[in-house]
Chains A and B, each alone.
Chain A
Amino acid sequence: MKTQPAPLAAASATLGAGWDAAPVAAVAVAADGRVLDINRAARAVLPAVEPGDQLSVGAPGWLSAADSVVRSGEPVGDVAGVAGSQSFDAHPVAAADGSVMWWLEETTRLRASQEALRLERESTAFLHAASDALLSSLNASRTMEVAAELAVSRLADAAWVIAPVARGVHQAVQCLHGERPRALTLRIRAEDIPGLAEALQGFPPVPSRWIDPAGLEPWIVPDGFGEAGPMVVTSLPGHGVPAGALVLLRRADRVAFSEDEEAVARLFASRVGAALAAARLFEQQSAITDVLTSQLLPPALRRSRGIDFAGVYRPAQETARLGGDFYDVHETEDGGTLALLGDVCGQGLEAAVLTGKIRNTMQALLPLAGDHGRVLALLNAALIGAGETRFASLVLASALREDDGLRLRLTRAGHLPPLVVRADGRVEELLGRGPVVGVLDEPEFETLEVRLEPGETCLLYTDGVVEARGGPMGGELFGEERLHLLLSECGGLPAEAVVERVVMLATQWLEGPEHDDIAVLAITAPRVWS
């Protein structure tokens, strides 16, 4: 039986009956730190606090510490803490006699919802940042690295992103918290990791699996990780395509994945899956595009049969890389070469496909290269016979070494005349007659001959050069006069330097990014060296 100290009765008397029944917990503390009184609500949450004892005996540390501060006359800020399973905000009211009345406002549910809101915000921010990072790349390997790095930034101590099996192996990325991701090739059986095979089926989505870390395959725990604790395997659902699996690992001393965390992991996994599926789709499509376009791109040119060639091609549609201009250089049976350059009406892929047909046809007609008129007549017939509604203009140029120079035979089919740049800078236009191919039934062509001395160049080009619109004052055509003028400074230059200079000045002339296809081909007689 405890003896009741004297001041208690006095205090109760002052506080009155309403105090004890108040719905808010309250504790009265005397100036010397002894508990004067405690109401019913407070007794329920602070069962160890007894009137007459020092407050510090039965109250939680945060409350008695704040109490000493208040009684010493110092200001005290927000006071909050936990008692039992509940949380409280504590509000002190100091009296003139140095005693303090503590009102304890219960905030358990408020705190819980605040905490939930914080976690939710963090998760949203994480998922948002994850989406940004994942969307940045269309490369599957990089997307896997980004995904693994993101996973360890929030969800786990270590993570694996494992791709579905391809050619007997799984491409995978492993990442430890705070480290850079590592790409690995796994020769594993997915069935050996519980949940992995199912997750790798990707679609229909299988639920995350909680797995007991005991008895795991040793490779799944990264070197230097320590003892593995909770682990979760999540499917990465793609667009109906299995995109892979995400494996999250925590150390043994870490808490297990909560329900909310598991939900975040699933949302994260669906973003990773979508990004990976898009990246794989892009890779497949661009691989196909590369194979197809490589057949249509102009060839890289170099010295052939002792003759220098250089070409530059700038298609109008930069994203397509292809257009309606074309050139080619072939070696012929007479020991020389046949170069061709032309322009199909139209731009873009449809035009490019026709350039491919023309180039193939020309290759087949190479044995007849000695007779340009016949080659062009056959090409003309082939285009009309195939029901092709488009037409093309082109120039054929056969070159053969002759002494230290070149003998050129040139035939024009409705194309801009070739230009010869003499060593002294004179520029000559070669005006043979001949219609475009693909229109007339029986076209006739005129073949001209010209000799190039060492250092002299014959330039073939398409109308994109002279029809470049712009200039310093705007709205002006580049024009043939300007082209002739610039070529007059190119006597004796190597083939590459001539085409580079022509295309450079023509493209710099342009006002904006818009232009027609531009193709330029130089045939140059090498200079003879002393």
Chain B
Amino acid sequence: MVLIGVGGSPDAVAVHADRLWQAVLAGDEYRAIDTVLGALAEGVEPEAILLDVVGATQRRVGHEWSLNRISVAQEHAATAINERAIAHLATRLPRPEVTGAHVTVACVDGEWHALPARLLAEVLTLRGFRVDYLGAQVPTPHLITHLHRSSPDLVALSGSLPTRLPVAHATISACQSAGVPVIVGGAAFGSHGRWAARLGAQAWAPTARAAADRLVEPLPRPPAAHEPIDDLPHLLDQEYTMVTRGSAGLVRAVMAGLEERIPAMRAYTDLQRQHTAEDVAHTVDFLGSALYIDDAVLFLDYVTWTAQILEARLVPARSLVPAMDLLSDRLRDFPRALGMLDRATALLEPAQR
């Protein structure tokens, strides 16, 4: 039983989290650092500072952004300040003797949200694991070299973007072919980690705490002589390959079609046109990922979310349905893609009446 100081009660933790939120919102690095160090001095459990103060603040940053209450720039600033606060906190945290497994913590390549992985690395260190934290922007070849050199017991892979799932799968397979099992976590892997098993991960954890609990027991060894295609036999239909390879052409075709159907678009500035093209490209990315994992839910979640984001920004989602329609025109020969686009249209149409 761990004794919790007065400053560590759930209410107090919420107060610290709110203070940190105010500090990162103001871009006030020093106040942010003072807040987390203050919480430590008041006896809040280090794990609670990491997850319920810093982690909760970071979640709030993402939520406020999605409601258009803070700008992208503020989001970046807040994240940078949170990172610095953790860096300061980490130097003050106890470093218990290593009793647990040797874990390499990394982000899926191309992933920019390093904070969840960083928090996991700190929590695992607190729990007595031996941790190598590689962070974000680690190309898979470096990760593999690292595995061969340091031979960890497992890799903990963090991913927040479902569009990176194909890369995540390649990374998981590469780790396993080096004989190292993988636990995955983060929003990329879907609610309840529904896509983790499909990508062949040995385990999935919803939170850093759950991951630390799970890793007390060793992960099963990855199967030997495993072919990644065995995980996803539907890829043989080539739909994913064709959609992703032709993505720029798809976007061009959809843009041309939208300008024909929505007269207002013809008056768009270059920047507005670029933003619309980026939205369409994003849609194609998500469609590709949904085809890769063979789950329409991935695409439908994205479409729902996008409609909400657009609404929060007071941008009518009127281009979404025609975009689905135009994509369907171009993807006539791809039954899985067509099915997903049809379901997305059905989802969007009631909202647009």
Other-chain residue from B71, B110, B179 in contact with A136 (beta carbon distance below 8 A): B179
As a 0/1 sequence over residues 378 to 395 of chain A, the CB contacts with chain B under 8 angstroms (1 = contact) are: 000000000000000000
- Could you say which residues of chain B place their CB within 8 Å of the CB of A312? 137
Chain B: minimal CB distance from A371 (Å)? 34
CB pair A286 B252 closer than 8 Å: no
The distance in angstroms between the C-alpha atoms of A507 and B79, with both chains bound, is 19
Q: How far is the CB of B332 from chain A (nearest CB, A)?
A: 22
Asked if A504 CB lies within 8 Å of chain B CBs, one says yes
Residues in A with CB closer than 8 Å to B280 are 472
Q: Does A321 contact B (CB under 8 A)?
A: yes
- Chain A interface: which of B43-51, B143-151, B205-213, B312-320? B143-151
Known: A492-B77, A494-B77, A497-B80. Contact between A136 and B139, CB under 8 A? no
B251/A473 in contact, CB under 8 A: yes
Contact with B along A484-527 (1 / 0, CB 8 A): 01000111111011001100100100010000000000000001
Bound: A496/B281 CA distance, A:
27
- Whether the pair B141, A319 counts as a contact (CB closer than 8 A) is yes
* Pairwise interchain contact A137-B179, C-beta atoms closer than 8 A: yes
Chain B residues near A184 (CB-CB < 8 A): none
A129-B224, A473-B248, A490-B73 known; A142 vs B79 contact (CB < 8 Å): no
Interface status of A314 (Cβ within 8 A of chain B): yes
Q: Which residues of A contact B178 (CB under 8 A)?
A: 136-138
Which of chain B's residues have a CB closer than 8 A to the CB of A129? 224-225
Q: Assess whether B151 is in contact with A142, with CB atoms less than 8 Å apart.
A: yes
Taking A132-B224, A472-B277, A494-B29 as contacts, is the C-beta distance between A146 and B77 under 8 angstroms? no
Q: Are A500 and B80 in contact (CB under 8 A)?
A: yes
In the complex, what distance in Å separates the CA atom of A471 from the CA atom of B149?
Answer: 37
B148-A137 in contact (CB<8A): yes
Q: Does A115 contact B (CB under 8 A)?
A: no
User: B30–A474 contact, CB under 8 A?
Assistant: no
Which residues of B have CB within 8 Å of A490? 73, 76
Known pairs A286-B145, A474-B248, A500-B112; A494 contacts B151 (CB<8 A): no
Digitize B77-89: 1 where CB-to-A-CB distance is under 8 Å, 0 elsewhere. Answer: 1011101100000
Kindly identify which residue among A133, A314, A472 contacts B278, using a CB–CB cutoff of 8 Å: A472
Is A219 interfacial (CB-CB < 8 Å)? no
Q: CA–CA, A455 to B73, complex, Å?
A: 13
Question: Chain A 429-468, CB within 8 Å of chain B: the 1/0 string?
Answer: 0000000000000000000000000010000000000000
Query: Shortest distance in angstroms between A343's beta carbon and chain B's nearest beta carbon?
Result: 20
Q: Which residues of A contact B251 (CB under 8 A)?
A: 472-474
> Which of B31, B83, B139 sits near A529, CB closer than 8 Å?
B31
How far is A517 from B95 in the complex, measured between Cα atoms in Å?
Answer: 38
Roughly how many angstroms separate A473 CA and B150 CA in the complex, as a whole number? Answer: 42
For residue B148, which residues in chain A have a CB less than 8 angstroms away from its CB? Answer: 137-139, 279, 282, 286
Interface residue? B262 (CB, 8 A): no
Quick check: B249 and A497 within 8 Å, CB to CB?
A: no
Within the complex, what minimum Cβ distance (angstroms) separates A193 from chain B? 27
A137 contacts B248, C-beta separation under 8 Å: no
Residues of chain A within 8 A of B141, CB atoms compared = 318-319
* Interface of chain A residues 254 through 308 with chain B (CB within 8 A): 279, 282-283, 286
Name the interface residues of B97-140: CB closer than 8 Å to any CB of A.
110, 112, 137, 139
Q: Which of B237-254 contact A (CB under 8 A)?
A: 247-249, 251-252
Q: How far is the CA of A137 from the CA of B174 in the complex (A)?
A: 11
A470, closest chain B residue (CB): B248
- B177 contacts the other chain (Cβ, under 8 Å)? yes
Contact of A133 among B84, B224, B247, B252 (CB under 8 A): B224
Flag B157-184 by CB within 8 Å of A: 1 or 0 each. Answer: 0000000000000000000011100000
Q: Contact check, B29 vs A142: say whether CB atoms are below 8 A apart.
A: no
Would you call A7 an interface residue if the criterion is a C-beta within 8 Å of the partner chain's C-beta atoms? no
Q: Inside 8 A of B71's CB, which chain A residues have their CB?
A: 489
Contacts of B151 in A (CB 8 A): 137, 139, 141-142
Q: Does B322 contact A (CB under 8 A)?
A: no
Residue among B73, B80, B81, B145 making CB contact with A489, cutoff 8 Å: B73
Min CB gap A69→B, angstroms: 44
Query: Does B190 lie at the interface of the complex (its beta carbon under 8 Å from any beta carbon of A)?
Result: no
Q: B16-31 vs A: 1/0 string, CB under 8 Å?
A: 0000000000011111
CB distance from B97 to the nearest CB of A (A): 19
Which residue from A136, A471, A494 sits with its C-beta under 8 Å from B224?
A136
With contacts A473-B277, A485-B271 taken as known, whether A132 is within 8 angstroms of B225 at the C-beta atoms is yes
The answer to whether B77 touches A493, judged by C-beta atoms less than 8 angstroms apart, is yes
Nearest residue (CB) in A for B270 is A481
Whole-angstrom distance between the alpha carbons of A497 and B277 in the complex? 25
Whether B274 sits at the interface, judged by CB under 8 Å, is yes
Residue among A492, A494, A501 with most chain B CB within 10 A: A494
CB of A370 within 8 Å of the partner chain: no
Min CB–CB distance B171 → chain A (angstroms): 13
Is B248 in contact with A475, judged by CB distance below 8 angstroms? yes
Task: State A529–B32 Cα separation when bound (angstroms).
Answer: 11
Inter-subunit contact A497/B76 (CB<8 Å): yes
Give CA–CA (A491, B73) in the complex, Å: 8
Those of B50-71 within 8 Å (CB) of chain A: 71
List, in ascending order, chain B residues with CB within 8 A of A473's CB. Answer: 248, 251-252, 255, 277, 281
Cα distance A286–B29 when bound, in Å?
A: 39
A496 to B137, CA, bound (A): 14
Give the nearest-CB partner of A302 in chain B.
B87
Q: Given A136-B224, A142-B151, check contact A492 B27 (CB 8 Å).
A: yes
| Closest Cβ–Cβ distance, residue B147 to chain A (whole Å) | 8
Q: Does chain A have a CB within 8 A of B353?
A: no
The answer to whether B347 has its CB under 8 Å from any CB of chain A is no
B72 interface residue per 8 A CB criterion: yes
The reply to whether A474 and B249 contact each other, CB–CB distance below 8 Å, is yes
Of A133, A321, A470, A472, the contact of B274 (CB 8 Å cutoff): A472
If the complex has contacts A489-B73, A494-B77, are A511 and B149 also in contact, measured as CB distance less than 8 A?
no
- In the bound assembly, the distance between CA atoms of A478 and B200 in angstroms comes to 36
Bound together, the chains give a CA A490 to CA B271 distance in angstroms of 17
Known: A129-B224, A142-B151, A142-B179. A494 touches B27 (CB 8 A): yes
- B252 contacts which chain A residues (CB < 8 A)? 473-474
Is A286 a contact partner of B77 (Cβ separation < 8 A)?
Answer: no
The smallest beta-carbon distance between A471 and chain B, in angstroms, is 8
Within 8 A of B (CB), among A83-140: 129, 132-133, 136-139
Cα–Cα distance between A121 and B219 once the two chains are bound (Å): 31
CA distance A180 to B225 in the complex (A): 20
Contact between B142 and A139, CB atoms less than 8 A apart: no
Residue from A133, A141, A146, A496 in contact with B83 in the complex, judged by beta carbons closer than 8 Å: A496
Assuming the contacts A473-B251, A475-B248, asked whether A136 and B80 have C-beta atoms less than 8 A apart, the reply is no
Chain B minimum-CB-distance residue to A310: B80
Kindly list chain A residues whose C-beta atoms are within 8 Å of the C-beta of B72.
489, 501
Expressed in whole angstroms, the minimum distance between the Cβ of B40 and any Cβ of chain A is 20
Q: Which of B27, B80, B110 makes the CB contact (< 8 A) with A527?
A: B27
Taking the closest CB of chain B, its distance from the CB of A128, in whole angstroms, is 8
**Given A136-B177, A139-B147, A501-B73, 15 further pairs, Cβ under 8 A:** A132-B224, A136-B179, A138-B148, A139-B148, A321-B142, A472-B274, A473-B248, A474-B248, A489-B71, A490-B73, A492-B73, A493-B76, A496-B80, A496-B84, A529-B30
B interface residue numbers (CB < 8 A to A): 27-31, 71-73, 76-77, 79-81, 83-84, 110, 112, 137, 139, 141-142, 145, 147-151, 177-179, 218, 224-225, 247-249, 251-252, 255, 271, 274, 277-278, 280-281
Identify 5 residue pairs between A and B in the complex whose beta-carbon atoms are under 8 Å apart, listed by A's number.
A129-B224, A321-B142, A470-B248, A472-B277, A474-B252
- Listed from nearest, the 5 A-B pairs whose CB atoms lie closest are A474-B248, A472-B281, A472-B277, A138-B148, A318-B139
